[in-house]
């Protein structure tokens, strides 16, 4: 039975057990993208779509040295920006989003990254997931739960949701988990997804959540 099928109190109790275990298992969990300011995190997050954080970090090491602020990205030739981010994949769309986003930042916010989700999602290339990353990691603002492939997969396996749409998964998690845990929950689940609860061959025997996980959708050999 899914936690979302339980009475609200029992669903929250199950979620609380998950949160306690993840907190103990991954106390050092944080964003894996390298950045020194909100704009750098915004750029890195756009580049991270369909790309590993390790690859993004290698690309942004040179990118951040070359482009200092929103005006630099906005003023760059699109073809050059495409070459600069090419190895992250889908580079044409990513370069277009970064340039367009920075143009909008200059026009609307004096080149600064805004601090509300409504303002962020109006920027080119910025959806709700990216906005949540920026607000939570750069500003410490709990606007929601970042739902990437790891968070979605683990939430379903734990019975916290049956949804596949990221925004619907997020809504289920926000109902069961206290707001003060939203930012950390994403980091914990992402680390857990990379270290134990992989998409293929999850290490269930060594999993810290083994005692509370119903293993929904997990194939057994």
Q: Which residues are catalytic?
A: 129, 148
Q: How many CB atoms lie within 10 A of CB 77?
A: 10
User: 103 and 111 in contact (C-beta within 8 Å)?
Assistant: no
Tokens in use for 126? 């910025």
Q: Which two tokens stand for residue 111?
A: 């080149």
| CA pair distance 39, 114, nearest whole angstrom | 10
d(CA 122, CA 16) in angstroms, rounded, equals 34
The CB-side HSE value for 61 (13 A sphere, CA atoms) comes to 6
SS3 at position 140: coil
CA distance 79 to 57: 21
The alpha carbon dihedral of 157, 160, 165, 167 has a sign of negative
194-214 per-residue burial string, b: 16 or more CB within 10 A, e: under 16? eebbeeeebeeeebbbeeebe
């Amino acid at each position: 039975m899914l936690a979302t099928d339980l009475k609200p109190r029992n669903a929250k109790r199950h979620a609380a057990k998950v949160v306690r275990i993840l907190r103990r298992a991954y106390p050092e969990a944080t964003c894996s993208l390298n950045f020194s300011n909100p704009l750098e995190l915004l750029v890195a997050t756009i580049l991270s779509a369909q790309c590993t954080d390790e690859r993004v970090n290698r690309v942004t090491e040179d990118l951040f040295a070359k482009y200092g602020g929103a005006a630099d990205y906005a003023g760059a030739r699109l073809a050059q920006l495409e070459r600069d981010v090419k190895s992250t994949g889908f580079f044409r769309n990513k370069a277009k989003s970064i340039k367009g986003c920075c143009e909008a930042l200059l026009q609307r916010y004096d080149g600064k990254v805004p601090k509300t989700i409504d303002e962020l999602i109006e920027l080119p290339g910025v959806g709700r997931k990216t906005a949540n990353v920026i607000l939570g990691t750069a500003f410490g603002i709990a606007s929601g739960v970042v739902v990437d492939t790891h968070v979605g997969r683990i939430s379903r396996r734990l019975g916290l949701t049956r949804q596949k749409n990221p925004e619907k998964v997020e809504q289920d998690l926000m109902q069961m988990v206290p707001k003060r845990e939203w930012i950390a929950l994403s980091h914990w689940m992402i680390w857990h997804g990379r270290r134990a609860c992989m998409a293929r061959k999850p290490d269930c025997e060594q999993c810290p959540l083994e005692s509370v996980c119903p293993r929904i959708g997990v194939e057994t050999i």
